[in-house]
Amino acid sequence: MIAIVDYGMGNLASVSKAFHFLGERVRITSDPKTLCRADAVVVPGVGAFGEAMAELKKRRLIQPILGSIWDGKPFLGLCLGLQMLFSSSEESPGVRGLNVIPGRVRRLQAARGLKIPHMGWNQIERFPPGQNGDRRLLHGVPDGAFMYFVHSFFGDPEDKRMVAATTRYGCRFPSVVSDGKRLWATQFHPEKSQRFGLQILKNFLKQVRA
């Protein structure tokens, strides 16, 4: 069973529908015991870093999420679900993240002609084979594929080898990260990214079933 974590701030319906479209049964839950029993965990999210971490703590979801990752269960973070994996965020000074990925969530800087938040379609640039990052999530996704973004911050890992793909918007920021084991996260929304977004979810399901 794949558990989609409900902490009151995620785009749960669209994520669930995308998995259902691919023929996979999922369960939306805020129950810690259900998370512990799940075979894989998906953490979506839209909103502010500090509020999201407060909701996870309030609902007693932090330890079940960390336990799933430590146990090596497949994990997928989406947008804010990626950012919460980091140690801290410029959006919420003093708030500790899950600290699964050492590093800091940084604010996108407005550049000439670009608006913040970064909203809409943009390309991802994959690293070549043998270079940075775990590419299993990107199998069948071409370099330069367009994905759908809505964000003002991005995760900046200390270990750049965790970056599997980047995107340019004023600066070049990580848009896919992985621990090289069974944890992946995207700054974009694959559930809203049509063909290639669905391919990413298919690739995640393949790892769940492996």
Q: What is the CATH number of the domain that holds 15?
A: 3.40.50.880
Query: Of 18, 23, 60, nearest to 42 (Cα)?
Result: 18
Number of domains in the chain: 1
* Unique residue bearing structure tokens 């990413």: 200
Query: Of 60, 1, 53, nearest to 31 (Cα)?
Result: 60
* Residue 151 annotated as catalytic: no
Range of the domain at 47: 2-209
- Out of 79, 91, 118, 151, pick the active-site residue: 79
- Out of 24, 55, 91, 191, pick the active-site residue: 191
Q: pTM score > 0.85 for this model?
A: yes
Strands 118-123 and 153-157: unpaired
> Tens of pLDDT along 178-204?
998 999 999 999 999 999 999 999 999
> Tens of pLDDT along 32-84?
999 999 999 999 999 999 999 999 999 999 999 999 999 999 999 999 999 99
- Out of 24, 118, 151, 189, pick the active-site residue: 189
* Residue 36 annotated as catalytic: no
* Residue 90 annotated as catalytic: no
